[in-house]
Amino acid sequence: MLRRDFLRLTGLTASIVALPTLAKPELPLVVWFSYADEKTVGSYFHSVQKGLRERGLIDRQTIRFEAYFAQFSKERVHQLIPEIVARNPAVVVVQGAAIRPMTQATHTIPLVIASSGDLVAGKLVSSMAHPGGNVTGVQFLAIDLVGKRMELLKEINPKLKRVAVIADPGHAGETNERAKTLAVADQLGIKVDYKPVTNPAELQAALDSLPGSGVEAIVAFPDSITFGPRRRIADLAIHHKLLTVSGWDAYADAGFLLIYGPSLTASWERMAYFVDRILKGARPADLPAETPSVIEMVVNLRTAKALGITIPERVLLRANRVIE
């Protein structure tokens, strides 16, 4: 019997002809959505990618990874949101001023956020332990770190008597951050000039008011208001011989004298943990939001030299990184 006759008699011919090609399962879409541009937040963007790779989440192999940058434009944020929602991503990692509009645009797409403010005070989660909605992630603000910045300034200049605090009063958690700062300053015998700023014009006015005011240092709360112009703040401070401190390493890299706060590199890598858990079926509502687990201090000796000051050896020994 010929092979084709055997196939016909056994009915296998039809099976072979009709057997469809199995469709390759579509990879889950993971979106990065930033208010900033790639140049400004590129290191954080790459930290997320690194964290994803370490968990086997590799673009075009196990996931599809797409990035959207709003270029510091609120108008662009609102233009991009419908496009992102229409893609129906499995999860969106959201950064900066894109967070609030994105959380308002969807209550179903899982959102993993990294916020400089207080997630609970900002009403982004019900509680850190039980977020309760479609949002979870990491908040960079840790109140117990805030007072340490003032203490470090006093350690560098024991005669320090007056500082300016520049902050956005609308930033979630700013009230608690300011209260802690004022309490520590009072304990150290330091007078605080509070400079509330909500836009670039107000920031410039605040900076213009400092020379000749008796202020000896600037404490810049790390948020979107001070982050963008951090180099300008540092340059003005150096010109007028003012000490500067903030909470993220990018401020020190821009010329601030020192920073004390969360490692944003570690925090952004941690975002991959939330993405991985969600892709495996966990709900954001059940994934506890976190505060930073890795804290760092960075000292800029180039700035110290420009200011004509010497950083005490005991401070340098505690620094995780020294810019020389």
Indicate whether 22 belongs to any domain. Answer: no
Q: Which candidate, 302, 165, 309, 306, places its Cα nearest to that of 239?
A: 306
Would you state the structure tokens that stand for residue 66, as one six-digit string?
């797409």
Return d(Cα 286, Cα 280) in angstroms, integer: 13
Tell me if 15 is assigned to some domain. Answer: no
Q: What's the CA gap between 71 and 255, in Å, rounded?
A: 23
In our burial notation (b when 16+ CB lie closer than 10 A, e otherwise), range 287-308 reads: bebbbbeeebbbbbbebbebbe
Do 161 and 284 reside in the same domain of the chain? no
User: Under a CB-based contact definition with an 8 Å cutoff, are residues 147 and 186 in contact?
Assistant: no
Tell me if 97 is assigned to some domain: yes
Would 5 be classed as within a structural domain?
A: no
Same domain as 191, residue 95 = no
pLDDT on residue 6: 37
Does residue 6 fall inside a structural domain?
A: no
Give how many domains the chain has, as a whole number. Answer: 2
C-alpha–C-alpha distance, residues 67 and 252, integer Å: 27
What's the pLDDT at 24? 61
What torsion, rounded to 10 degrees, do the Cα atoms 202, 204, 209, 214 define? 110
Given this model, what pLDDT does residue 40 score?
Answer: 86
CA angle 179, 138, 299 (to 5 degrees): 65
Beta-bridge partners for 221:
none
Mean pLDDT by 10 residues, the chain (324 residues): 41 44 77 93 93 97 97 94 98 94 97 94 96 96 90 98 96 92 97 96 97 97 91 98 97 98 94 98 98 95 98 97 97
Q: Is residue 7 part of a domain?
A: no
User: Do residues 103 and 242 share a domain?
Assistant: no
- Asked if 92 and 202 sit in the same domain, the reply is no
pLDDT at residue 130 in the model: 97
Of 257, 167, 175, the C-alpha closest to 206 is 167
Distance separating the N- and C-terminal Cα atoms of the chain:
86
Q: Are residues 196 and 301 in the same domain?
A: yes
Write down the pLDDT at residue 20.
52
**Residue 253: DSSP 8-state:** H
Residue 52 DSSP one-character state = H
| Cβ–Cβ < 8 Å for 35, 223 | no
Give the model's pLDDT for residue 141. Answer: 87
User: In which domain, by residue range, is 224 found?
Assistant: 143-262+296-323
Residue 2 lies in a domain: no
What is the DSSP annotation of 106-117?
-SSS-EEEEESS
Query: Which sign does the torsion angle of CA 26, 28, 33, 38 carry?
Result: negative
**Do 93 and 114 fall into the same domain?**
yes
CA distance 195 to 210: 10
Contact predicate 48/55, CB 8 Å: no
Q: Does 300 lie in the same domain as 161? A: yes
